[in-house]
Structure 1
Amino acid sequence: MNTKLHAICDSQGRPLNLFITAGQLSDYIGERALLSGLPNVNWLLGDRGYDADWFREALQDKGIRACIPGRKQRKIPVKYDKRRYKRRNRIEIMFGRLKDWRRVATRYDRCPKVFLSAIALAALVIYWL
């Protein structure tokens, strides 16, 4: 059983919002779920999986500027701030901190709700440390 964890982090790499989907599903489902819970920010950094025109327009409607590189299949390349995009490593560091928790890294739980609960507990500790 595979799962994908979609997360929103602050500028310090602390998890704010978490959503879990099945591993074979597209990242667009995670985008839709997290879109309503976005905090009031100026920029959103994301990887290529979150590159969609509707998502960029939804962010623009909220007054958020997207720093998401375009997919390789795009015919017209999307401009993004490469210097700002390098700060996305904080998100990867947050995922690494979550995987320090053995229960999260090895996924002992079969039930997605229980697994998300374990992730939420780990995220709570990470947020305050």
Structure 2
Amino acid sequence: MAEPARPAGGGSTGGEGLGRSRGGFTTKLHLSADGFCRPLSLLVTGGHRADCTQFEAVLEKIRVPRYGPGRPRAKPDSLAADKACSNSPCRRYLRRRGIRHTIPEQTDSQAARRRMGSRGGRPPGFDAERYKMRNTVERTINSLKQARAVATRYDKRGCVFLGTATVAALVI
């Protein structure tokens, strides 16, 4: 049986979802959640991976089953993300898929746009009331961490840890 492919640039443990970060040897769990704090998609990477690099992969894994016949929905109605995803590739991806989004603009991007004057373009739209719903993702992560195995990652293999996180998500 062939060895499963590992993602590029992950080092020797890239396929296991482990990586060095400021906190040491860690794992990062990327996820999307609905308005009721239920996880829609999970992705495990090394702790050194940035959130914006996994943005498209997390959104591509969303599958919401329909009550009647038909394929599951793969596109959310709207999205609220933090400043880590405010770069232009993430915004272009959301525009291309037709997903309404609320993402605050980073302060350095605001300053660069103002320096350019009229050539800098207009600021992206931001709805503060809709952005308040972003806390559902943080609450989902906290409820996943109530499972001790997810909070401490005793599992050695990345696929086993993803299975553990999935079981904890199913309990939610």
Give the one of 25, 49, 58 matched to 2:93: 58
RCO greater where, 1 or 2, for CA within 8 Å and sep 6 or more? Answer: 1
Give the one of 142, 148, 151 matched to 1:96: 142
Match of 2:36 in 1: 12
Aligned-residue RMSD, C-alpha: 1.6
Structure 2 runs not aligned, ≥5 long: 1-24, 63-73, 114-122
Match of 1:23 in 2: 47
Q: How many residues align?
A: 126
Return the alpha-carbon distance in structure 2 between the equivalents of residues 60 and 91 of structure 1.
22
Shift of 1:10: 1.3
Shift of 1:112: 1.7
Larger-gyration structure (1/2) = 2
TM-score, normalization by structure 2:
0.67
Q: 1:2·1:23 contact (CA, 8 Å) conserved in 2?
A: yes
Question: Percent identity of the aligned residues?
Answer: 38
Return the alpha-carbon distance in structure 1 between the equivalents of residues 75 and 57 of structure 2.
16
Aligned-partner residue type, residue 40 of structure 1: K
Give CA deviations for 1:95-121 in whole Å, capped at 9, x if unaligned. 110010011111112322211111011
Q: 1:45·1:85 contact (CA, 8 Å) conserved in 2?
A: yes
TM-score, normalization by structure 1:
0.87
Q: 2:27·2:46 contact (CA, 8 Å) conserved in 1?
A: yes
SS across alignment from 1:41: coil
